[in-house]
Structure 1
């Protein structure tokens, strides 16, 4: 992964030279020269890694480069931090330090030149590495091919549990269906049972009898070697000194007259499938091809409806485990409880269940042994994390750090994709791409990891994007192991050893003890405190952090609670991401805005009232979150450091006071996408609604009234909300006039939420209001409405309705029945009349996939 680390350093240096050249003043030429050398090394390393994959020789070369990269990064970051901290010096301090600065710059320049010379020496060794890699690759191909025949051709029928429907469907496709050749895709994560399922079908007696010719090819082993693929396809065709093309033609001719079944196991690249028709003829004899893959894009290339194997339920997991252990015999009653627990801990992954079954079979079937295994399932499965190695090796270099980053999250926990992507950007994993925001590139990366079945999709957003995701326990264990080996990330959990010298640290427990015991560190760039017990961090602990970890880029204290926020926080001059919460702080230090590299600033501090936040000093700011009413000062009239004061990077601003929505402020936020406004909306409603229209890219808007202020009586007449809005939330506004008349005309609105007394009228009328042409999600929470009217020609795109604590609502609109797109309805604590209406909608849609969930006060679980 050295190429990814090198890429991050390159991006940092390039940005410094283009945007903060004053911070490398005096060593600028040396940095430029180093950048050129790094570019050469980066291009070569990417190519070298692709050729050599995980060969020891490549790993050793990469380790040497990574060591140099870290040395260069420490040197540059320390120099930049020192220069930046002296920005506020007065004229006398500047004069006194001038001589010392010149000496330091000379020393830094000398060190940069030494590092550059070492990079040059490594680059000159490339020919030697190329020869060694080529030799190792040739011998590896033969080993891989022999292993392919030995390991990847299943000869015995294996237990398959949980995939009975897929088995029957594929069997039917094999034996029946069209005479045209068909390709059947089996998709799923590593260890899910794709090869086992294909093997069982391959050896099914009815299948064997049905086809004239069958063969099995492990594509990942033959790679791009056409001759070896042909050999695997039909070994007896490899005779004499025929050319590869002559052999291909011979096999093609033979297969054209036979009903064949070919299994292409473990396919990783879509490019490999482009010429498939040159090898496997479309002979209209009922031939079939089964393809197994972990990559969604590969499966969809050949079949739009792949068989996507999912993780097993706890019940199916126990069924598979008991089959493997007892082999048809009855499980003793005393072993059912520990056995079920063991199966559950395997996370629904069949391969993990099979491995742990082997562990249970090592000794007698006793409660003592099974309880011991139950308490250490992760340890017993540790040796089999190598099954994920090939998945990791097939990742593009730029996805590797993004994947390993998941190691810091608890297994199977729900991970916010939006939070994750902001962290990736701050860490430097996301390169700049012309015409795209960094967050858009990050979203593509996450979708790629989900498409590779390395990360699980938990919930989608209304627009089809990924809202949340998770990682399987075994994959997480692999990430932790690999990240530690690469000195990329250390995860500190209960009873774990002291962290090493990794660049990133995730602390899940005993945060205060760790901070108290650790010395200053120039290696740490990311510290995330993710404990669930909400330890309290004193100002002493915070000051220790600020002084000892000056080169931090990411500081996430969301798992602890802090008191006052010390002004020394400005020492963290390299910080790009800061997230913290305080239950006692009553002021926000102005020095916070001296951290000029900040991209994401998230503060939860309920006792801080209307803090002044000088965002104009934060030139790199992309996302700002505050739980209350932040006040923005007017932008400076003069340029800041010779630059325009426009905050072109800022995308999220939430939440700010209504009186901060002046024309002069709003006009300097050209790329704002998400805005939250909290406070006295009634007093400043004309100001707010007048200037909202100037935000041409605004997509998400939340208006929330602070309860100490008067209610927002109405949205002013004639107001045009931004037509770009796709999500609108009104909370505690206590509107007296029905907002639907103005909201319903928004041409792109997809999500509307009226929450906690957003509207205090009795009737919500969607008649003659524009029809909500694109509305997909409607959420009504804690409203006093009695009537809700929807005409038959309205809300034609509605997919989901959520109604919570609207106890006075007498009925649901009958027009909901005729909305063909409506697929979900969730009702919390409804009265009997509303339940009856909902059941009518459900009955009307009985032939459609409609989900009705009703939640009652005495139960947290919904009832269908």
Structure 2
């Protein structure tokens, strides 16, 4: 969509005009005029796309116009970036160039500036011509009719959701539990107005479920007024208000009330209020997209204390919970079908007239692969199964469909409905969220991507629009949350505090994204099936593909390159890339076979994101210091150990992640290391993450210099000497935004002197201390916002529980590797009320674990390991009513025997817990473990 390219360009031009006010006025003026032209076009682009989609537009006239706009947007973006590249070379050039700059910036490169201005003028003429052609394609600029036209046209296709209202009972699979829950919420409970929201992504069967409930006899006989209204994106509020009372009026054969045909919204709201006030109503609003809609419904349907129920179906979480401000709200989040139900539904559709509804053995493997592609989405299963029911039942036909599913989703009449239903969510997004959503197509199908990685890349690409009083990272997190709440993105794993760690998109959404990426030149995916590229694109996603022909792509305006499953790389891959992709912003080599970065990487002036995570790269070239726009440098689990001196010139650097974990070592104090920074860390004042830096190389100044890093959110220090502890404490006190702190001492026996902090940031949420402590530092219990504390190797003599139990927001607590040297831990009544995760690992002297009733009330996960003196279950473990995971690893033989389900005394206490794992070792120090392994639940 050109709307995306133009929106991103306008933001870029605004930033350019703000930052380059001192440059040539004629160049600056031409850019300003182009910005105005694009702004006048932008508001019509979304409508142009909608009209083209609705018409089918066989002549592709509107699509051609949109493509022309997009290409000119790309063109002007390239001109700006080339201009900035040349300016960057000039500013950081040699002595002669710097002298010329002091004399006159015009003399520096007059010919270049003249060429840039001529090119921009040509672009502006082209834009004006494109703008003039718009009238031929069904819309005119400055026309007040364009909005309603696009809304009307967007409903011109057959809506496959309509079939959901007329399904036979036998065709519905896997909704029994959901149906029962909704019926219960509708027919029991408070007499107050209650809203029941059915939430889920498009195609999950929300409408089907709601209709089954609406038609349930137990529901229909419970209410004296039932109404079903399909809302969708292009609703008319006046029609909705009339329908609310029209359906019961027809059922009762009552006349219309006075004012029914009015176009006065306020009057109609009053009529609905009056009519429904005496009714015990149940009203379903199917497919709600707009919060403002519910705001009016709240006014029209008063709480009359007669047990009124409103049920809505929606894809958007904010809508599902909106009415909490005025009503009881129940939210049922509909999930994809489990594999066995998905298979049952597929067989019902694909073999409804053959083989007695069962899949024949020759087709079973292919059928299972096709069902897996649907990932439990009923609409997809029904549509694809229905299509296969029309085909010959042979392996050739089944394989052909599986291999061509992407193209079939675009063109086959049986399947285009899937694409249209799912695409509604995408089309409803503002352009900045569309950019972020399309980004998921860069990653291979089924890939769970780190949320932090996504946020950094979105920022590097310029997708994140700054807001007052918020960091770009916070805004990026808001963007991701919106995509999750709109049921477009699925969370793959959560952090201990409930925040998402990794996320992905549904397989069919991934197919839709790939098509949109191709249509918009957003990204091209190179793979073993499609190893070549011709045309225009902004990004390359290279997945399991030979790169032998990569050098043939010359001087491309590519902005981002990603490698996935790159098992073989050309010898000079990075050199070729640096030479040909001079405007590169994002270079993600994570998990690739890259072994070194050439000095040419320093030529990538625009580079903002560079990752060599999990690669064999061991040295950063000195030219890295030239990357003045670099924001993220991810060296985690690479072989890089020493950072070049010039690293302190990267004044825009926000993230430096450089810890290395040696998986070949048995875990001990030296398993994880950081990197050496030789000097000048105090200049990196934009840093938000520094994790880890080593402090044992005679660089006490480095520890004191940290106090200048006032923006730090995450800090990791390795190999801290005792004498540097007080200096580190002083630096930490200056970090007002610090959220995560990890400190490791020089050795197991080296004391960590962390007692002298008088004030630690109230923002501190996560604390990790590794090394010898006399006692728990006094400032830790004062950190009321701490949610996670992990202590390693400390050998605390006194129980730390009393000091920590008043940390009321604590969610995870861990003592590991001799962190506590006592014999008893006693969790007293009232303590640790929010704690969800408790880890007690390698506490060799622990022989008594006591849990009072009323302690650890929210605990969901308890893991205890290698505590040979602990002979039995913790006393009071039966009080942990929310426990889901219970794990005892490498315990004593006596402990294992006590847990034997046949004759153990303790088995009955924990058998109700969903997951219980117990192993024991032959001897506490032999390193030899028995094969006894009990998995319960």
Q: Distance in 2 between matches of 1:91 and 1:714?
A: 48
User: Which stretch of structure 1 is more off in the superposition, 90-99 or 479-488?
Assistant: 90-99
Q: Sort the Cα spacing of 1:173 and 1:604 in 2 relative to 1 into closer, same or farther, 3 A.
A: closer
Contact 1:539–1:566, Cα closer than 8 Å, also in 2: no
Q: Distance in 2 between matches of 1:205 and 1:372?
A: 45
Instruction: Check if 1:749 corresponds to 2:767.
Output: no
CA RMSD of aligned residues (A): 3.9
Instruction: Check if 1:592 corresponds to 2:624.
Output: yes
Instruction: Check if 1:151 corresponds to 2:155.
Output: no
Instruction: Check if 1:554 corresponds to 2:586.
Output: yes
SS in structure 2 at match of 1:650: coil
SS in structure 2 at match of 1:789: strand
Q: Can you list the C-alpha shifts for 1:692-717, whole angstroms capped at 9, x where unaligned?
A: 222222111122356xx674223254
Alignment correspondent of 1:290: 311
Q: Sort the Cα spacing of 1:126 and 1:228 in 2 relative to 1 into closer, same or farther, 3 A.
A: farther
Alignment correspondent of 1:112: 120
Instruction: Check if 1:356 corresponds to 2:411.
Output: no
Alignment correspondent of 1:54: 50
Alignment correspondent of 1:776: 811
SS in structure 1 at match of 2:690: strand
Alignment correspondent of 2:842: 806
Alignment correspondent of 1:102: 110
Instruction: Check if 1:525 corresponds to 2:566.
Output: no
User: Which stretch of structure 1 is more off in the superposition, 204-213 or 548-557?
Assistant: 204-213
Alignment correspondent of 2:543: 508
Q: Distance in 2 between matches of 1:852 and 1:582?
A: 32
The Cα of 1:4 is off from its aligned counterpart by 3.7
Q: Distance in 1 between matches of 2:409 and 2:165?
A: 23
Alignment correspondent of 2:58: none
**Alignment equivalent of 1:474, drawn from 491, 500, 508:** 508
Alignment correspondent of 1:313: 338
Contact 1:674–1:698, Cα closer than 8 Å, also in 2: yes
Equivalence map 1:636-651=2 (5 Å): 647-651=684-688
Contact 1:262–1:289, Cα closer than 8 Å, also in 2: yes
Q: Distance in 1 between matches of 2:330 and 2:562?
A: 41
Instruction: Check if 1:388 corresponds to 2:426.
Output: no
Q: Sort the Cα spacing of 1:788 and 1:538 in 2 relative to 1 into closer, same or farther, 3 A.
A: farther
Alignment correspondent of 2:752: 714
Q: Can you list the C-alpha shifts for 1:669-724, whole angstroms capped at 9, x where unaligned?
A: 12111111123534633433332222222111122356xx6742232543447243
The Cα of 1:84 is off from its aligned counterpart by 1.5
Equivalence map 1:721-736=2 (5 Å): 722-724=760-762, 726-730=764-768, 733-735=770-772
Q: Distance in 2 between matches of 1:511 and 1:860?
A: 45
Alignment correspondent of 1:641: none
Alignment correspondent of 1:223: 235
Equivalence map 1:434-445=2 (5 Å): 434-445=468-479
TM-score, length of structure 2 as denominator length: 0.80
Contact 1:829–1:856, Cα closer than 8 Å, also in 2: no
Q: Can you list the C-alpha shifts for 1:27-75, whole angstroms capped at 9, x where unaligned?
A: x542354235425633x45543566662228755543332211001111
Q: Can you list the C-alpha shifts for 1:277-317, whole angstroms capped at 9, x where unaligned?
A: 55546555554332111011111113532111012221222
SS in structure 1 at match of 2:433: helix
The Cα of 1:272 is off from its aligned counterpart by 1.1
The Cα of 1:765 is off from its aligned counterpart by 3.8
Q: Distance in 2 between matches of 1:564 and 1:163?
A: 54
Q: Sort the Cα spacing of 1:104 and 1:380 in 2 relative to 1 into closer, same or farther, 3 A.
A: closer
Q: Distance in 1 between matches of 2:163 and 2:41?
A: 31
Q: Sort the Cα spacing of 1:862 and 1:633 in 2 relative to 1 into closer, same or farther, 3 A.
A: farther
Q: Distance in 1 between matches of 2:569 and 2:161?
A: 57
User: Which stretch of structure 1 is more off in the superposition, 44-53 or 92-101?
Assistant: 92-101
Alignment correspondent of 2:358: 331
Q: Distance in 2 between matches of 1:583 and 1:457?
A: 26
Q: Distance in 2 between matches of 1:206 and 1:571?
A: 71
Instruction: Check if 1:65 corresponds to 2:76.
Output: no
Q: Distance in 2 between matches of 1:652 and 1:143?
A: 46
Q: Can you list the C-alpha shifts for 1:533-565, whole angstroms capped at 9, x where unaligned?
A: x53546511111111111000000113132232
Alignment correspondent of 1:268: 289
User: Which stretch of structure 1 is more off in the superposition, 450-459 or 805-814?
Assistant: 805-814
The Cα of 1:801 is off from its aligned counterpart by 3.0
Q: Distance in 2 between matches of 1:705 and 1:511?
A: 45
**Alignment equivalent of 1:697, drawn from 726, 737, 742:** 737
**Alignment equivalent of 1:404, drawn from 432, 438, 449:** 438
Contact 1:456–1:470, Cα closer than 8 Å, also in 2: yes
User: Which stretch of structure 1 is more off in the superposition, 273-282 or 764-773?
Assistant: 764-773
Contact 2:198–2:331, Cα closer than 8 Å, also in 1: yes
Q: Distance in 1 between matches of 2:190 and 2:819?
A: 59
The Cα of 1:526 is off from its aligned counterpart by 0.6
Q: Distance in 1 between matches of 2:194 and 2:474?
A: 36
Contact 1:598–1:618, Cα closer than 8 Å, also in 2: yes
Q: Distance in 2 between matches of 1:229 and 1:52?
A: 31
**Alignment equivalent of 1:451, drawn from 478, 485, 502:** 485
How many residue pairs get matched?
842
TM-score, length of structure 1 as denominator length: 0.86
Alignment correspondent of 1:493: 527
Q: Can you list the C-alpha shifts for 1:736-778, whole angstroms capped at 9, x where unaligned?
A: 53446664443332211235xx335677543456844432211
The Cα of 1:270 is off from its aligned counterpart by 0.4
Q: Sort the Cα spacing of 1:138 and 1:571 in 2 relative to 1 into closer, same or farther, 3 A.
A: closer
Contact 2:30–2:120, Cα closer than 8 Å, also in 1: no
Contact 2:726–2:756, Cα closer than 8 Å, also in 1: no
Q: Sort the Cα spacing of 1:4 and 1:227 in 2 relative to 1 into closer, same or farther, 3 A.
A: same
SS in structure 1 at match of 2:742: strand
Q: Can you list the C-alpha shifts for 1:412-432, whole angstroms capped at 9, x where unaligned?
A: 433211111111100100011
The Cα of 1:6 is off from its aligned counterpart by 2.9
5+ long unaligned stretches in structure 2:
53-60, 660-672, 888-915, 920-930
5+ long unaligned stretches in structure 1:
637-644
Alignment correspondent of 1:9: 9
